[in-house]
Chain A
Amino acid sequence: MSALRMALSLLAGDVQADRSVPPTGFTARLTLFTATAMALLAVFALALSLAAGRLATRWSDELSQSATLRISAPAEQMDAQVAAALELLRTTPGVASARALDSEEEQALLTPWFGPELPLDALAIPRLIEVVEEGRGFDATGLRARLQAEVPGAVLDDHTRWRAPLVAAAGRLRGMGALALLLIGAATATMITLAAHSALSANAQVIRVLRLVGARDAYIARAFVRRFTLRALAGAGLGTVLGGLLVALLPGGGDDSGSVLTGIRFAGAQWLWLLTIPPLAAVVAFGATRLAARRMLERQS
């Protein structure tokens, strides 16, 4: 409660209490620079973390809702096997739709690897059937058993072996982003604590005079805490704006289907997350300075 009261009185401000402590150039610049730099890094970490989360979700959703059936068979049996597979899929629970890719689509898939001049007709290319799932999906084991019996040339790929490591990697990337944010918060707190210690030490004589005229610890601490909190708020505000601008200017920012690198950006309402950085920096500065002031004043009493 006392912290809450102090936070409220901090917002209200006390010009006279603020004036009691002389301006300290070095610690002011240090706090401002630290808050700006850390907020900038926090924006990047947040962008990375959110992008990783977004990609993990997309990969997971997209790949988990589809499967591919690859049919390899002699040319004269190919159409029959494809038709049998489509019929089997039509009656399989959990399958929303199944569609055989036409030659143009297969050509498009192979073009990045073999170029546009590939003579598909002259090659024994397997036919692909795209399967879209519904609900909780189909029973892959049961489907494989039925395919083996009815369409011996079919191989079912439900994307599990692709999806799992991708989702795991994206999840780890997101975790690393969160860890980076925590470390940034801790580093900010440490730097501001050091700056507050420095300011308190440099003002030992001021503190002594204030005490002799009857100032309570809370009054003395408030002057320092308010100063550092407002500096951190201003610095973090500046760093957040700079970071936001840099993220917005990242190349590929508009590519929604891009990779991790081109996906490092904020999408829609995610920009609102940036609004939390300056107040959080202020809260960190408030806590760090208050703790430092309490310890110093206790030591100096």
Chain B
Amino acid sequence: MAVIELRDVAYSYGGGELFSGLSLSLAPGSFHFLTGPSGAGKTTLLKLCYGDLVPTSGEVAFWGEATTGMARDALALNRRRIGVVHQDCQFLDHLPLAENVALPLTVAGRHHEAAAYLPDLLGWVGLTRHAERRPPELSGGERQRAALARAVIMSPEVIIADEPTGNIDWEMSQRLLSLLVELNRMGKAVLIATHDLNLIRAAKAQVSVRTLRLKDRQLIAAGADL
């Protein structure tokens, strides 16, 4: 059973149709890259994948269950199984970084587990000494790394990342990729939207990757050169 499935999905925005007849199935343990020109709808497609947007037509299913008519509580529970790294790294600016990273555990009523995960996680993304700083005090790259830490703290079954290496250097992007590959080897499905072809090539060297390209309102398999 696919962890996330888009069936014949269309999405209109501001009177125009962004894409239509789009289908996608993320199997457990799969690794997908999503590429395409700016404005093609990559972020929108990802938002449909984690239930932040509702398709104009077609259907989105989480673990085989259609989200159409799904109760908001059920949707919230499904979101806990999906780790998301947003392009704009949304945080609660009044809370310190450590509490932001632990937020998924907190809202799930598992805040007591944070102490067990936080030190290693912050250490891995190189933010240990920033644990008590507020998000507005961090650089773009630091925020991106914090977003990644927050996305994986619940050990989700799917990781969805929107341009996760957009604001970080090559070394950090390789560390980030290593984590995602490691999570994928643990059986997590990974979907990354990116323009970074080097990242895709580096991933292909380590795991079996499928690259999709969103262009002209259609989702197609990218060429072998990727």
**Interface residue ranges, A against B (CB under 8 Å):** 16-17, 19-20, 22-23, 205-206, 208-219, 297-298, 301
Kindly list chain B residues whose C-beta atoms are within 8 Å of the C-beta of A206.
92
Of chain B, the residue at the smallest CB distance from A15 is B111
Kindly list chain B residues whose C-beta atoms are within 8 Å of the C-beta of A20.
92, 95, 103, 106-107
Kindly list chain B residues whose C-beta atoms are within 8 Å of the C-beta of A19.
95, 99
Kindly list chain B residues whose C-beta atoms are within 8 Å of the C-beta of A301.
72
Of chain B, the residue at the smallest CB distance from A22 is B94
Counting chain A CB atoms within 10 Å of each CB, the highest count among B92, B104, B111 belongs to B92
12 A-B pairs, CB-CB below 8 angstroms? A19-B99, A23-B94, A209-B92, A211-B79, A212-B52, A212-B90, A213-B103, A214-B80, A216-B72, A216-B77, A297-B72, A301-B72
- A212 and B79 contact, Cβ closer than 8 Å, known pairs A16-B111, A19-B99: yes
Contact A216–B73 (Cβ < 8 Å): yes
Closest Cβ of chain A to B60, distance in Å, is 15
1/0 per residue B62-105: CB within 8 Å of A?
00000000001100110110001010001111110001000110
Contact A209–B91 (Cβ < 8 Å): yes
Closest Cβ of chain B to A258, distance in Å, is 56
Contact B90–A208 (Cβ < 8 Å): yes
Bound form: Cα–Cα A301–B80 in Å = 17
How would you classify the secondary structure of chain A's contact residues: helix, strand, loop or mixed? helix
Bound form: Cα–Cα A206–B104 in Å = 13
Kindly list chain A residues whose C-beta atoms are within 8 Å of the C-beta of B50.
212
Contact B94–A213 (Cβ < 8 Å): no
Closest Cβ of chain A to B103, distance in Å, is 5
7 additional contacts, CB 8 Å, given A213-B79, A214-B80, A298-B72? A19-B99, A20-B95, A20-B106, A209-B90, A213-B103, A214-B79, A216-B76
Bound form: Cα–Cα A260–B100 in Å = 60
Bound form: Cα–Cα A211–B79 in Å = 8
Bound form: Cα–Cα A219–B103 in Å = 12
Interface residues of B, CB < 8 Å — how many? 25
Contact B76–A215 (Cβ < 8 Å): yes
Closest Cβ of chain B to A44, distance in Å, is 39
Closest Cβ of chain B to A238, distance in Å, is 27
Closest Cβ of chain B to A107, distance in Å, is 79
Nearest 7 CB-CB pairings of A with B: A214-B80, A215-B107, A22-B94, A214-B79, A213-B104, A216-B76, A16-B106
Kindly list chain B residues whose C-beta atoms are within 8 Å of the C-beta of A16.
106, 111
Of chain B, the residue at the smallest CB distance from A23 is B94
Closest Cβ of chain B to A185, distance in Å, is 31
Counting chain B CB atoms within 10 Å of each CB, the highest count among A17, A205, A215, A217 belongs to A215
Q: Does B188 sit within 8 A of A, measured CB to CB?
A: no
Counting chain A CB atoms within 10 Å of each CB, the highest count among B73, B103, B111, B150 belongs to B103
Bound form: Cα–Cα A214–B80 in Å = 5
Kindly list chain B residues whose C-beta atoms are within 8 Å of the C-beta of A205.
90
Closest Cβ of chain B to A206, distance in Å, is 6
Closest Cβ of chain B to A217, distance in Å, is 6
Closest Cβ of chain A to B88, distance in Å, is 11
Kindly list chain A residues whose C-beta atoms are within 8 Å of the C-beta of B90.
205, 208-209, 212
Q: Does B202 sit within 8 A of A, measured CB to CB?
A: no
Closest Cβ of chain A to B205, distance in Å, is 32
Bound form: Cα–Cα A220–B80 in Å = 15
Contact A219–B92 (Cβ < 8 Å): no
Contact B94–A210 (Cβ < 8 Å): no
Q: Does B197 sit within 8 A of A, measured CB to CB?
A: no
Contact B72–A217 (Cβ < 8 Å): yes
